[in-house]
Chain A
Amino acid sequence: MDQNSSHRLKRRGLKVLHLAGLFLAMLVICLPGLWIVLSSLRPTVEIMAKPPVWIPQDVSLDAYRAMFGGAGQGGIPIWEYFRNSLIISITSTAIALIVGMAGGYAFARYKFKGKSGIFLGFMLTRAVPGIALSLPLFMIFARVGIIDTHFAMILIYVALNVPFTIWLIDGFFRQVPKDLAEAAQIDGCTRWQAFWQVEFPLAGPGIASAGIFAFLTSWNEYALASQITRSVNSKTLPVGLLDYTSEFTIDWRGMCALAVVMIIPALTLTFIIQKHLVSGLTFGAVKG
């Protein structure tokens, strides 16, 4: 065997190893999701079986039928929860993005006193576990009388997301060269127009990804929501999962079905926006 072919074999072998490694990693990541989907389709007996039943024997959509069947038939008020989740997540994301854009832009472009201190402060708020805030929040919200309202949840999620969106958007605005906004101003734009015509479109992908993060955080958050929400007035989907637990039993199948229903919109949204993220905004504004 000459050197060429031995190297070719070696390269091929490495490639196979590489793919096998990737496959294993993906398996670890995807398996829980797959298990949830499977569990939502099979009876509790099969879910709880020991040793586990790997290949589902008895597949049905009963759990979904019951879930959408309404509160009377063993289902839950899913439409209300869905509505609550949507209102709270979308509104809080929108607000967090607006504040994040303003803040991120300020951090990226302007010098002001205590800049790094404030920035560090924002980051530190992320170090506090959200659940630690639940009791004080509950007490304050109870006093003010906003327990079990959309407003309360939106407030919490905005506070939770703003430091993160500012941090992320700051990074993206930093990557947009300052010259561009200056060129736009010389070309006849006001400061405001320069932002919307030039800097915003260029930081767009970053703002979109900040949006995804903020949305997913709000959409999936459980700990705080479980404290502040009480009824169909404001309960979100993650809290709704708890409806499947009763005193002595847990309806794993129903819970998994709801989990699947929760994942779908989040996945769809991420997928749609992610396409825009990589839509090839190739930089060529400045040299390099």
Chain B
Amino acid sequence: MAPVTLKKLVKSYGNVDVVHGIDLEVKDREFIALVGPSGCGKSTTLRMIAGLEDISGGVVEIGGKPVNDLPPRARNISMVFQSYALYPHMTVRENMGFSLKIGKVAQSEIDTRVNEAAAILDLDKYMDRRPSQLSGGQRQRVAMGRAIVRKPDVFLFDEPLSNLDAKLRTQVRTEIKRLHAKVQSTMIYVTHDQVEAMTLSDRIVIMRDGHIEQVGTPEEVFKRPATRFVAGFIGSPPMNLNEATVADGKLVFAGGQSLPLPIEFRGKVAAGDKVIFGLRPDDIYPTGHGLNSGEATDVHEMELPVSITEPLGNETLLFITMAQREWVSRMLNPRPMGAGEMVKFSFDLSQAHLFSPETGKTLRR
């Protein structure tokens, strides 16, 4: 039973703050992903939870108790490093049993627990090999095995998949998810890959420049991004974000082209306001080729020329130029389409977002 709580957590190097007093509550057995671009402070935050980095201000609580001054070994955590950090002079078995050996656990108990973990991760065949004799994916599994064997209160993952090739990454991702279902511990997972964050976690914490931008379930951060940054960061291809001016029930873009003001935002913005208009590629589609075709409530149709097509098999990405900007559209059940063709597009404005250009915050209230 170990919830993790961060209260006003600060990290500074000299005069430079890299984490600016973040608050976060991770529930017991929750899988939380910290995601953000490099340098956003997510790894530093994780390392402060682990005790590998001094805490400049605020409190880290594990299991309800402050652990600020406890060394890593006293926090009952496990960590999987990006580099795996396996001990090269030990076999897989010794690597996995190391924490128990240090903890003076009886050898028979060590053997049972190591074998148990090996069975979970399908490592039985490699137990007597050295890390240098393993492939990247196997090393990754050993690192996870080493973490499980400890039966920690909290698992910490520091970009564990970024050294694996794409195919292996999806495979190990599934394994981590399965692992969480089996061991039922609190897990905190740092990644810069929003797909990993979305697929793995119960809740996502999106960080930027040492601040938390939004905390929410994958669906929340996707459907209801709190800031323009979150909107652009989550989702692939990213949301189309363009500046517009509100005028008389319309959004006027650069060059004079306009879209009707989404029903949802009527009354929330005033004429003359500058806004950032956001719409996901999924919500701009050639009429009849969208996800919500037929049931969408606030659709605006417009004929536009297609400049580039990127067929992906089950869907095609279309690049269209409107208001002097390139917009991305996603066509489901694609039909062959050539560049330059005039196509009738549906803009599903019920899915649109408006953000303030100054604060970046959503204007949905």
Instruction: Flag if B50 contacts A186 (CB, 8 Å).
Output: yes
A113–chain B nearest beta-carbon distance, Å: 13
Q: Tell whether A284 pairs with B83 under 8 Å between CB atoms, given A187-B102, A201-B89.
A: no
Task: List residues of chain B with CB within 8 A of the CB of A185.
Answer: 51-52, 71-73
Instruction: Flag if B83 contacts A177 (CB, 8 Å).
Output: yes
Report the Cα distance A177→B81, complex, angstroms: 12
Task: List residues of chain B with CB within 8 A of the CB of A183.
Answer: 79, 81, 85-87, 146
B339 at the interface (CB under 8 A from A): no
Q: Tell whether A180 pairs with B73 under 8 Å between CB atoms, given A185-B52, A186-B78.
A: no
Instruction: Flag if A287 contacts B89 (CB, 8 Å).
Output: no
Interface positions of B from 77 to 99, Cβ below 8 Å from A: 77-79, 81, 83-89, 98-99
A189 at the interface (CB under 8 A from B): yes
Most A Cβ at <10 Å: residue of B77, B103, B132, B136: B132
Q: Tell whether A285 pairs with B99 under 8 Å between CB atoms, given A187-B150, A190-B71.
A: no
Instruction: Flag if A188 contacts B132 (CB, 8 Å).
Output: no
B281 at the interface (CB under 8 A from A): no
Partner of A284, one of B79, B139, B146: B139
A137 at the interface (CB under 8 A from B): no
Of the A-B pairs whose beta carbons lie under 8 Å apart in the complex, a sample of 5, sorted by A's number, is A184-B102, A187-B102, A193-B102, A284-B134, A285-B86
Q: A183-B85, A187-B146, A285-B85 are in contact. List 14 more A-B contacts (CB 8 A).
A: A179-B81, A179-B83, A179-B85, A184-B102, A186-B72, A186-B78, A187-B99, A188-B99, A188-B102, A189-B102, A284-B133, A285-B86, A286-B84, A287-B83
Chain B 65-76: CB-based contact to A (< 8 A → 1; otherwise 0): 000000111000
Report the Cα distance A279→B137, complex, angstroms: 27
Instruction: Flag if B163 contacts A287 (CB, 8 Å).
Output: yes
Task: List residues of chain A with CB within 8 A of the CB of B85.
Answer: 177, 179-180, 182-183, 285-286
B192–chain A nearest beta-carbon distance, Å: 17
Report the Cα distance A198→B139, complex, angstroms: 18
Report the Cα distance A187→B145, complex, angstroms: 12
B142–chain A nearest beta-carbon distance, Å: 10
B21–chain A nearest beta-carbon distance, Å: 25
Partner of A285, one of B51, B79, B84, B136: B84
Instruction: Flag if A180 contacts B87 (CB, 8 Å).
Output: yes
B130 at the interface (CB under 8 A from A): yes
B148–chain A nearest beta-carbon distance, Å: 12
Chain A 189-218: CB-based contact to B (< 8 A → 1; otherwise 0): 111010001100110000000000000000
Chain B 120-157: CB-based contact to A (< 8 A → 1; otherwise 0): 00000000001111101001000000100010000000
Report the Cα distance A180→B83, complex, angstroms: 9
Report the Cα distance A183→B86, complex, angstroms: 8
B252–chain A nearest beta-carbon distance, Å: 51
Instruction: Flag if B89 contacts A202 (CB, 8 Å).
Output: yes
Q: Tell whether A287 pairs with B52 under 8 Å between CB atoms, given A180-B87, A183-B85, A282-B130.
A: no
Report the Cα distance A202→B87, complex, angstroms: 9
Task: List residues of chain B with CB within 8 A of the CB of A189.
Answer: 73, 102
Chain B 175-204: CB-based contact to A (< 8 A → 1; otherwise 0): 000000000000000000000000000000
Task: List residues of chain A with CB within 8 A of the CB of B102.
Answer: 184, 187-189, 193, 197
Q: Tell whether A285 pairs with B71 under 8 Å between CB atoms, given A179-B83, A187-B98, A188-B99.
A: no
B72–chain A nearest beta-carbon distance, Å: 5
Residue of A nearest to B99 (CB): A187
Report the Cα distance A286→B159, complex, angstroms: 14
Residue of B nearest to A185 (CB): B72
A287–chain B nearest beta-carbon distance, Å: 5
Task: List residues of chain A with CB within 8 A of the CB of B98.
Answer: 184, 187, 197
Partner of B130, one of A182, A201, A284: A284
Task: List residues of chain B with CB within 8 A of the CB of A186.
Answer: 50-52, 72-73, 77-79
Residue of A nearest to B104 (CB): A188
Report the Cα distance A179→B88, complex, angstroms: 12
Task: List residues of chain A with CB within 8 A of the CB of B130.
Answer: 282, 284
A34 at the interface (CB under 8 A from B): no
Report the Cα distance A191→B74, complex, angstroms: 12
Residue of A nearest to B146 (CB): A187
Instruction: Flag if A283 contacts B88 (CB, 8 Å).
Output: yes
Interface positions of A from 136 to 183, Cβ below 8 Å from B: 177, 179-180, 182-183
A281 at the interface (CB under 8 A from B): yes
Instruction: Flag if B73 contacts A190 (CB, 8 Å).
Output: yes
Task: List residues of chain A with CB within 8 A of the CB of B86.
Answer: 183, 284-286
Task: List residues of chain B with CB within 8 A of the CB of A285.
Answer: 83-88, 131
Task: List residues of chain B with CB within 8 A of the CB of A182.
Answer: 50, 52, 72, 79, 81, 85
* The 10 A-B residue pairs with the shortest CB-CB distance in the complex, in nearest-first order: A284-B132, A286-B83, A187-B99, A179-B85, A284-B131, A183-B85, A285-B88, A282-B132, A188-B102, A188-B73
Chain B 97-110: CB-based contact to A (< 8 A → 1; otherwise 0): 01100110000000
Report the Cα distance A187→B50, complex, angstroms: 11
Interface positions of A from 196 to 246, Cβ below 8 Å from B: 197-198, 201-202
Most B Cβ at <10 Å: residue of A191, A193, A286: A286
Task: List residues of chain A with CB within 8 A of the CB of B83.
Answer: 177, 179, 285-287
Task: List residues of chain A with CB within 8 A of the CB of B88.
Answer: 202, 281-285
Chain A 109-136: CB-based contact to B (< 8 A → 1; otherwise 0): 0000000000000000000000000000
Instruction: Flag if A187 contacts B136 (CB, 8 Å).
Output: no
B88–chain A nearest beta-carbon distance, Å: 4
Most B Cβ at <10 Å: residue of A180, A188, A281, A283: A188
Report the Cα distance A188→B97, complex, angstroms: 11
Task: List residues of chain B with CB within 8 A of the CB of A198.
Answer: 87, 89
Task: List residues of chain A with CB within 8 A of the CB of B139.
Answer: 284, 287
A278–chain B nearest beta-carbon distance, Å: 15
Residue of A nearest to B130 (CB): A284
Task: List residues of chain A with CB within 8 A of the CB of B163.
Answer: 287
Report the Cα distance A198→B131, complex, angstroms: 14
Residue of A nearest to B150 (CB): A187
